[in-house]
Amino acid sequence: MKKSALFMLLGFFTSVLTFSSEAKEVRPTFNPQGKEVFILGKLKGADYDSYYKGVCTSLPDAPRYSFRTECEDDGLYYHGNVGKRFIFTGVTSISPIKDIAKEILLEDGQTVYLIYYESGSGPSYVKPADKEVLKEIDNFQPGPIYPGAKTMITSINRGEELTYSLFHQFGPRMNKAQLSFLRTIAARYPETGPRIADLLASFVFEYDDFDKRVIVYGSSSQGIHNFWSLRLLITNEGDVHPLVAVNYRGDDWLFISQYSVSADEFRWSSNRVNFKRRHENGTVYEWNITDADDFSLSLAKKISKSENAVIRFRGQNSNFDEELSRSQKLELSSLLELYELLIARPNGAKEK
């Protein structure tokens, strides 16, 4: 082999080895032992593309103005970093106009810079970490959402709030208040509590902390525009109120005043119904939510067991038919099961 070719080959391998070593970024280890831990908090009105304007991912070697100005386009992204723990490293830099950049180490090993004004006031989203929350995070172990339940809490997540990831087909998250409410409800039923917990966890779970109650409904109601379904309003005291939700969404107004339901050979039509309406970004919405009576519950049972179920929205000038999907019918069946379990007293007697 000619010397020139040999040197070229050696040069190639040397550049590859250099590139490989540079590509493997070695981040510092986050070790908060003996140091105060802080949290990157929430930003009001933040969306997916927002970033922390007062946190720079790098600093200019020789700043001409303020750090805040010169790293304006180099801020730390909000999404994926909100809720992260960090510690101050003790390294501080001062710009020509006297604003201060304090180096901080995030829990994932990122080194970034928190900008303070000369007066010493820092960003309002920097919060001391709650020691109880840190303890819960550090001691977390995967386990059932409720003793005996099949639904597992697989991880704990820091973000805008502490949430718990659940393992089942929809893979949702619950915050601490929702999880506490679910466990409080399930604990009232020694024999059926685990099943109640599994059912509650499988639905969309809207918790109202002010009124101390939840509304649960099937997740398909979020993705399907037109439906007839049940919702359950459950209070902190354990009272259960079933609701019927009817929803239409489309490009044109129907001005619905009545609707009909078919379940195989069964047919039924409502009386006149007062639908609410709104228009948003070229889409129209018409909906009605009312208390469910015994007939509504029996209708839900017919729909859930049917091969073919259709809701017909009867409008002022035209009708619109929507066939209910298999997932909607399965959710109806599960909602009915949950309702029956919740209205049964622990000794098996139904509430009056």
Give per-residue pLDDT as tens, 192-211.
Answer: 999 999 999 888 888 888 88
Structure confidence at residue 169 as a pLDDT band (50, 70, 90):
very low
For the chain, what's the residue count?
A: 352
Residue 26 burial (C-beta neighbours within 10 Å; 0-12, 13-18, 19+): exposed
% of the chain beyond a pLDDT of 70 = 81
Q: Which residue has the higher pLDDT, 40 or 139?
A: 40
* pLDDT (average), residues 266-288: 93
Rounded to two decimals, the pTM is: 0.68
Res 7: pLDDT: 46
pLDDT tops 50 at residue 154:
yes
Res 352: pLDDT: 43
Compute and round to an integer the Cα radius of gyration of the chain: 29
86 contacts 106 by C-beta, under 8 angstroms: yes
* pLDDT (average), residues 252-258: 93
Q: In whole angstroms, what is the distance from residue 234 CA to residue 85 CA?
A: 36
pLDDT, tens only, 56-105: 888 777 667 777 777 766 788 888 888 888 999 988 888 877 788 889 99
207 contacts 214 by C-beta, under 8 angstroms: yes
Res 167: pLDDT: 57
Q: In whole angstroms, what is the distance from residue 331 CA to residue 223 CA?
A: 13
41 contacts 82 by C-beta, under 8 angstroms: yes
pLDDT tops 60 at residue 237:
yes
Q: In whole angstroms, what is the distance from residue 113 CA to residue 262 CA?
A: 63
- Amino acid at site 107: E
pLDDT tops 90 at residue 313:
yes
Q: Which residue has the higher pLDDT, 6 or 267?
A: 267
Could you give phi then psi for residue 291, rounded to 5 degrees? Answer: -65, 140
* pLDDT (average), residues 29-33: 84
Q: Which of 271, 275, 259, 274 is nearest to 309 (CA)?
A: 259
pLDDT tops 60 at residue 185:
yes
* pLDDT (average), residues 166-185: 75
* pLDDT (average), residues 98-124: 82
28 contacts 105 by C-beta, under 8 angstroms: yes
* pLDDT (average), residues 275-283: 91
pLDDT tops 70 at residue 17:
no
Q: What is the mean pLDDT of the chain?
A: 82
**Residue 195 parent element (H or E):** helix 193-202
* pLDDT (average), residues 145-168: 75
Q: Which residue has the higher pLDDT, 122 or 235?
A: 235
Q: Which of 79, 75, 69, 2 is nearest to 48 (CA)?
A: 79
How far from chain centre, in Å, is Cα 13? Answer: 48
Which residues have a Cβ under 8 Å from the Cβ of 159 and sit 6 or more positions away? 82, 83
